Amino acid sequence: MNSVDPTFATSIDFYVILASILFVIGAFGVLIRRNMIVLLMCIELMLNAVNLLLVAFSTYYGKGDAQIFVFFIIVVAAAEATIGLSILIMAYRNNKATDAGLFKNLNG
């Protein structure tokens, strides 16, 4: 078992609860909001909840590898936001709206 930072050992649960609340807010946002730009923001919120959780665990175990993982997540999130926004612009040109509910051509 890894060595655990004693000053941090009792409070790790609070970080997990906070990150979980942020994550759930983001997930609910993705499920109920219709505006696609807000959807992108909600996904970013979920990813940042994960970042917070990883940093907390990294301090808890006294190891740095989770913090490096956070940098990877930030980079990938930036790439994903870029792609997402460009897809959104393309969809906007076809549809003249950013409402996810308007995409009803594919079903069955």
Helix orientation angle between 36-61 and 65-95, rounded to the nearest 10 degrees: 180
Please report, as ranges, the residues that interact with another protein according to CB under 8 A.
1-2, 12, 16, 19, 23, 26-27, 30, 36, 39, 43, 46-47, 49-50, 53-54, 57, 60-61, 63, 65-66, 68-69, 72-73, 76, 79-80, 83-84, 86-88, 90-91, 93-95, 100, 103, 105-108
Kindly report the backbone phi and psi dihedral angles of residue 25, in degrees, each rounded to the nearest multiple of 5, phi listed first.
-60, -45
- CA end-to-end distance (rounded Å), the chain: 51
Q: In terms of CB distance, is 7 or 90 closer to another protein? A: 90
